[in-house]
Amino acid sequence: MVDESVIEAAVARLRAAGSHGDAEPHPRAGELVLPDGACAPHCIRLWAAFDNYYPLDGGRSTVPIADREGVLVVEPMNRVLRRVCLESIEDEIDDETREYLEELIEDLSEDHRGYGAVLEDEHPDPVLWISAAAEVSLLWYEHDAFDRRIPFLNMVAGL
């Protein structure tokens, strides 16, 4: 399987280089599930067997992949979008901007169904997206759009 070989190769490189020294595998990596009980995407389960934190920009995020029970620490994407599009700047905007952002959240939610997580508190906002089809990507939200998208496997392969 392609994701398995990509992740195995990345893990072997990281171990050989002594990188990710604080990596901690999730004890239930092979059994991880989404909040709705569906099986977590294979690539995430494979990575969690090496580290229970998402890879991000050559390092690791501060967000754990799953809780002790093996449930991914994600939420519906419309909630993630509300956080990055509106709540993070809510005290800086007027009513007209708020209305615009509410509409933007609706539009983005239609295009980004599934689950997600904000991986770091930084700008642009890095967001993990697990699509309704179980495809996993990292997106960066800035200026009312996702300006960059990297498939999860490409992020891992680049480590």
- Domain edges within the chain: 2-157
User: What's residue 1's pLDDT?
Assistant: 57
Residues 74-131 have pLDDT tens digits of: 999 999 999 999 998 888 889 999 999 999 999 999 999 999 999 998 889 999 999 9
Q: 96 to each of 9, 63, 93, 143, 146, how far by Cα in Å?
A: 50, 33, 8, 16, 22
